[in-house]
Structure 1
Amino acid sequence: MYARILIDNKSDHGLICEWGLAVYIEYEGHKLLLDTGSSGAFVKNAESLGVNLEEIEYGVLSHAHYDHSDGLAEFFSRNRTASFYMRVGTGENCYGKRWIFHKYIGIKKGFLEQYTDRIVYADGIFEMIPGAYLVPHKTPGLDKTGARAGLYVKRGRRLVPDSFAHEQSLVLDTKEGLVIFSSCSHGGADTIIREVTDAFPGKEICALIGGLHLYRTSEQEVRALAGRVRKLGIRRLITGHCTGERAMAVLEEELPGVAEALHTGMEFEIG
């Protein structure tokens, strides 16, 4: 498995960066795209890096927030065939709360109807191609996590805490073990690790890649997470975007040689 970060908050080699994430992946002869950042800027980076977006066969949207979905139209204008896989229940209904104000942070309004022929909705543990799975949250009570994070979804006329039913992880089965791509981990990295372990009994997790949503998390909690990663024997933790610099420093201290900060332009192979 080979991956290249097409856009992240940080950059290398003069590439564009933005608050968002997009990852190009090659797996078992297939070419995949995970997320599209918060604009079409990832397309320019792909061109600079020699990644041909027209060759992408499958797209995955990790969750229904703008910083992962707002580049979708730009992708569809360049790639006429690839379907994008979203979680059943994905809607244009995500909001963030700051003080008493609610701000829309979801997929662009009208997008899902406009591009309905390019979207596939995944239900349950969904095998997209042999060895590549989309894994949803099954843990009850994640709406409490949503409330603490100030994340909401609109149900009718009401805003209710987000249970992250629209969030999914991309899990690749490699010779080295399972590789989890979890773009924001809103439900919690521990939750995602446990759900993947339960979904694939007897399989080891060798890598966790993506954002961990730790930028508001206490140092004590970050160190506890690092301890669990170490105990499970996860050998690579490649993280950025919403992880946060303070949490990243703690992870690198606790997990030397395991934790790495991702950035735009970064490439790596596993298995």
Structure 2
Amino acid sequence: MKIKVLMDNISSGELAGEWGLSILIEYEGKNILLDTGASGAFAENAEKMGIDLAEVDVAVLSHAHYDHSDGMEAFFAVNDHAPLYIRQACQENCYSDDDGVMEYVGIHEGWLEKHGDRLVRVDGEYSPYPGVKLLPHSLDMKEAGLKARMYVKELDMFFPELFQHEQSLIFEVEDGLVIFNSCCHGGVENIIEEVRAAYGGRKIIGIVGGFHLYKTSAEDVRRLAGRLQESGVEFIVTGHCTGDEAFAILHEVLGDKIEQMYVGFSMEL
């Protein structure tokens, strides 16, 4: 299993960064793309890294926010066959409360219809390949939505996010499970619990993604670090919405167990 970060907030050399995330995972002879960043820049980075996106077999959208989906059109332009798996609940209706002003943060408006022939909606647990699973939230995420100040718009009314459009991407490896969740809006500790329950308590060796901690207090981050230390997870790779200050605290507590993600980061299991 190989992991290559095509887009993250932190740039590297000639590779551009942006507020977004895109990761390529090579697993059992398949190329799986998780998210497409906030623009076509991830595809430009892939080309500079010597990666041919035309060889991607399937793509996965972690959730319905622009910084993970707005590069989809660039991806479809270079890849004419890979389906993009999205949750059944994915709509163009995601908003963030920015000091009392509702700001649209969803998928580029009109693209769900425009690219409908490339989108595959999934409900419940779904396995595109043996050893790979897409897992929705099983816990109540209303409190997480309120804490994140995120909402969905329905019939001109705003309701707290339940993150029904968010999914984890799980891989079975020799020593256990590796979780990919691009923003962990539901809380990384909750996501670990959901995955552990779905797999009958099987060992989780690693988690990769953003933890949405960039607006979280240092005290809460430190508490989370303690819970991660006790979780039994052996390695953590995080970036994007985790935030620099939160990462510094996590690294202080977790040490070499945690690594900072950046554009061009690669890892092999």
Q: Given the two structures, how large is their TM-score scaled by the length of structure 1?
A: 0.97
CA distance in 2, matches of 1:179, 1:62: 15
SS of structure 1 residue aligned to 2:81:
coil
> Alpha-carbon deviation of 1:230?
1.9
CA distance in 2, matches of 1:99, 1:49: 39
CA distance in 2, matches of 1:54, 1:262: 24
CA distance in 1, matches of 2:190, 2:38: 26
Q: Provide the residue aligned with 2:255 in structure 1.
A: 256
Confirm or deny: 8 A CA contact 1:65 1:94 kept in the other structure.
Answer: yes
- Deviations, residues 153-207 of structure 1 (Å, cap 9, x unaligned): 1112111111100000100000121000010001111110100000001311101
Q: Provide the residue aligned with 1:191 in structure 2.
A: 190
- Deviations, residues 233-262 of structure 1 (Å, cap 9, x unaligned): 211110000001111001111111101100
Letter of the structure 1 residue corresponding to residue 175 of structure 2? E
CA distance in 1, matches of 2:201, 2:160: 34
SS of structure 1 residue aligned to 2:255:
coil
Q: Provide the residue aligned with 1:212 in structure 2.
A: 211
Which of 226-235 and 169-178 deviates more? 226-235
> Alpha-carbon deviation of 1:144?
2.3
CA distance in 2, matches of 1:194, 1:222: 18
Segments of structure 1 that go 5 or more residues without pairing to the other structure are none
> Alpha-carbon deviation of 1:76?
0.3
Letter of the structure 1 residue corresponding to residue 163 of structure 2? F
SS of structure 1 residue aligned to 2:236:
strand
Q: Provide the residue aligned with 1:86 in structure 2.
A: 86
Q: Provide the residue aligned with 2:66 in structure 1.
A: 66
CA distance in 1, matches of 2:75, 2:146: 32
Corresponding position: 1:126 with 2:115: no
Letter of the structure 2 residue corresponding to residue 81 of structure 1? H
- Deviations, residues 12-49 of structure 1 (Å, cap 9, x unaligned): 23210000000011001100100000000001100000
Corresponding position: 1:241 with 2:240: yes
Letter of the structure 2 residue corresponding to residue 105 of structure 1? V
CA distance in 1, matches of 2:175, 2:241: 27
Q: Provide the residue aligned with 1:101 in structure 2.
A: 101
- Deviations, residues 84-126 of structure 1 (Å, cap 9, x unaligned): 0001110000011112211111001111111111111111111
Identity of aligned residues (%): 46
CA distance in 2, matches of 1:67, 1:247: 20
SS of structure 2 residue aligned to 1:19:
coil
Q: Provide the residue aligned with 2:135 in structure 1.
A: 135
Letter of the structure 1 residue corresponding to residue 199 of structure 2? F
SS of structure 2 residue aligned to 1:135:
strand
Letter of the structure 2 residue corresponding to residue 212 of structure 1? F
Confirm or deny: 8 A CA contact 1:13 1:265 kept in the other structure.
Answer: no
Letter of the structure 1 residue corresponding to residue 254 of structure 2? L
Moved over 4 A (4+): none
Letter of the structure 2 residue corresponding to residue 88 of structure 1? Q
Confirm or deny: 8 A CA contact 1:12 1:263 kept in the other structure.
Answer: yes
SS of structure 2 residue aligned to 1:64:
coil
Confirm or deny: 8 A CA contact 1:43 1:74 kept in the other structure.
Answer: yes
Confirm or deny: 8 A CA contact 1:20 1:67 kept in the other structure.
Answer: yes
> Alpha-carbon deviation of 1:150?
1.3
Q: How many residues align?
A: 269
Segments of structure 2 that go 5 or more residues without pairing to the other structure are none
CA distance in 2, matches of 1:111, 1:53: 20
Letter of the structure 2 residue corresponding to residue 206 of structure 1? I
Letter of the structure 2 residue corresponding to residue 92 of structure 1? E
Cα-Cα RMSD:
0.9
Confirm or deny: 8 A CA contact 1:23 1:34 kept in the other structure.
Answer: yes
Letter of the structure 2 residue corresponding to residue 170 of structure 1? L
> Alpha-carbon deviation of 1:232?
2.2
- Deviations, residues 191-236 of structure 1 (Å, cap 9, x unaligned): 1010000000131110110100011222222222222222222111
CA distance in 2, matches of 1:101, 1:171: 35
